[in-house]
Amino acid sequence: MKVGAQLLKDFMNLVFPPVCAVCRVRLDTPRQQSLCPRCFGSIGYLQRPFCRVCGMELAGEEDREYLCGECLRNPPAFYLARSLVRYEPAVQQLVRRLKYAADTSVAKGISAVIRGGDLSEFVDCDWIIPVPLHAQRHRGRGLNQATLLAGLFFPEKKKLIRSDWLFRTRNTTAQTRLSGLERRKNLVGAFTIRHGIQLEKTMVCLVDDVYTTGTTVQECATVLARHGVRGVKVLTLARVVGPQRGRVR
């Protein structure tokens, strides 16, 4: 960093002291930090072993990763899905602020969370496609949190992010109060690929904020498969685990 830039940064830190992106407590530790130790320490990274396909944490110590019952019964249209952390209070705060308040100051905090995760399974992706919002909802919120997340996941690969290739043709009912079957029905035919886009034999990384039941990414992956992709790998920041699964979002 140039001396001038560093001075400006020091000055800004003095006038607007950095605060934790979750609890807003003032940070007096290193300049780069964006989450206080308490909030960062409360974040639960998902622990292996995972279901090889959907990425659900499996009980047990085995090294060998197998398929969960759900993936055995209903093999998903995607090759694999991975999330970095559990969708618990600190992460919920970050995601909600990003999503509903268009608060981009939380981006630094999310980047800190991402740096603690493992993205090695996504190195072979040719394209990075965020799960789209319907144009109407997009206008209402001012941003698509999945597009923002894609940029935070892959700061070195911004050229591969295509946020206008997959889009939502129907403004579907919010998924929050729907059961599994209703969620699937609600989404059938809701996504489409922009005319003329060639995706044959490519590996696509589909990015979203939270993985709940996987219905949304399943529908997106089905559409991508119809366009001849080699595979779809789903990457979400967080995953709903335990009893909340199925009733959030």
Rounded to 10 degrees, what is the CA torsion of 175, 186, 197, 149? Answer: 10
Q: What is the largest CA-CA distance in the chain?
A: 60
- State the distance between the two ends of the chain, measured CA to CA, in whole angstroms: 42
Rounded to the nearest whole angstrom, what is the least distance from the CB of residue 134 to Zn ion in the complex? 28
Rounded to the nearest whole angstrom, what is the least distance from the CB of residue 92 to Zn ion in the complex? 13
| Under 8 Å between Cβ of 98 and 209 | yes
CB-nearer residue toward Zn ion: 20 or 193: 20
| Subset of 65-104 contacting Zn ion (CB under 5 A) | 68, 71
Site string for Zn ion, 2-31 (x = CB under 5 A): ------------------x-xx--------
**CA neighbours within 13 Å on the CB side: how many for 154?**
26
148 is a contact residue toward Zn ion (CB under 5 A): no
Helices 180-187 and 215-226, packing angle to 10 deg:
40
Residue 35: phi, psi to the nearest 5?
Answer: -130, 140
Stretch in the footprint of Zn ion (CB under 5 A) among 61-69, 119-127, 134-142, 168-176: 61-69
Which of residues 43, 51, 150, 207 is near Zn ion by CB under 5 A?
Answer: 51
110 is a contact residue toward Zn ion (CB under 5 A): no
Residues that bind Zn ion (CB under 5 A): 20, 22-23, 36, 39, 51, 53-54, 56, 68, 71
